[in-house]
Each structure stands twice: as C-alpha cells, then as structure tokens.
Amino acid sequence: MTTLTAALPNIFSTLEHDHKKCVSKALDTAQHLCVVRGVQLTPIRLQVLELIWDSHKAVKAYDLLDRFKLQQQAAKPATIYRALDFLIEQGLIHRVESLNAFVGCNCSEHQHELLLLICKHCHEVDERPAPKVMAVLSEEFSQAGFIAYSKAIEAQGICLKCQQSQDEQNSLTGRTDLSVNLKPYSVFDLSQD
C-alpha cells in the first residue's frame, strides 16, 4: 500500500495536476508524523511548510522570509531557518544543495535517499525514489570501503513538461530555444593520448 509514485513519468511533470492534493497530502502526512513522533508542528513551522508547498519549485530561504512577512507577522532570518531545520530533520522537506533552496518532500513517510530532478527551465524539482540507482550506488560504496550516511543525487536538466511545451512553441515559431546555454554534459572533447 505504499506505491505513492506509481506512474513512471513523475507525478506532476506531464500534465496539469491537482496541486491542492499535493498540498493536503503533504500537510496531512506532516501532521500525522509529528504527532506520532511527539514533535511539535507549530504554527510557524506549518506556515513555512505551506509556503514551501506553494509549488513544486525549490524556494530560497529569504524568499520564504519575504512571503512569510507578507502574510502577517514580522520575522527575522532565524525564524525561517529554524523552521527549515526542523522540517529537514523531520524529513518533510529537502535542501537542494546545488541551489541553496528547499523543496517539499513528497514521500516523507518513508525512509528514502534522494534523486532530485531539477528543471533548469521551470525550476520544478521532482523527487524520485529510484531504488535501482540507490542499490548500485550502495555497491559502489562497499567497493570503495566507504560507509555512507547520506547520499543525494541532484540532476540538472529539462523536465518532460518543459520539453513538451517547448515542442509546441517550436511547432509555432520554428525555434529551438532550449538548446541555448544548455549543452549536454561538459565540454570535454579532447582526449589526450
């Protein structure tokens, strides 16, 4: 009963989706987990979590702060960072290291490693379980004699949704915008021998 991410393409990338469901599921799960764990999902923490779940995009701490202040109360960075620390500890959000930003976790009820697909175009982040990848990765660790305490994969690229909407654009305009500034992998074409 735990096949939360059954569809192969990600949860939200192919079509419009009912984001209210994402939000209510995330908040319900958060409430539940915090009760079970005996930790406090205080109003501030809840509010920050809601702000993060405003979209599937990764959010910057100071953007959260600004939005938090708009809603009502004065706040300082510490307020936000403390809430973020709590949410991360509880596995309710993830920190996206390559962006210095934060994104809601869509499967916080499970232990899981991270595979984050980060779209350079729409900035949405899709978290996928990817057990195969993680298994192979674990093998690699044992080979290296490395004891891993956390692993995270962050991939930058273009999500399916953006590819599709770009295709539509192109069929109208004849342009291929996405290739601008985006070359697959780095520029290593000179192998010395």
Residue closer to Zn ion by CB (options 10, 75) is 10
* 116: partner contacted, choices DNA, a second copy, Zn ion, none (Cβ within 5-8 A by kind): none
Identity (one letter) of the amino acid at 56? H
The verdict on 62 binding DNA (CB under 7 A) reads: yes
Identify the burial level of 46 via C-beta atoms within 10 angstroms of its C-beta, where 0-12 means exposed, 13-18 middle and 19 or more buried: middle
Binding mask 92-111 for a second copy (x = CB under 8 A): -----xx----------xxx
Residue 76 near which of Zn ion, DNA, a second copy, none (CB within 5-8 Å, type-dependent): DNA
What minimum distance in Å lies between the beta carbon of 39 and Zn ion? 25
Q: 3 or 188, CB closer to a second copy?
A: 188
SS3 category, 70: helix
Q: In this structure, what token pair is assigned to residue 10?
A: 């990600």
Length of the chain: 193
Of the candidates 69, 82, 121, 151, which one interacts with DNA according to CB under 7 A?
82
Shortest Cβ 82–a second copy spacing (Å): 19
Neighbours of 68 (CB within 10 A): 19
Please check whether residue 27 is in contact with residue 49, taking contact to mean a CB–CB distance below 8 angstroms. yes
> CA distances (Å), 39 to each of 32, 34, 45, 46, 141, in order?
10, 5, 11, 12, 33
Residues forming contacts to a second copy in the complex (CB under 8 A) are 1-2, 8-10, 13-14, 32-33, 36-37, 91, 97-98, 109-113, 115, 117, 120, 126, 128, 130, 132-133, 136-137, 139-141, 143-160, 163, 182-193
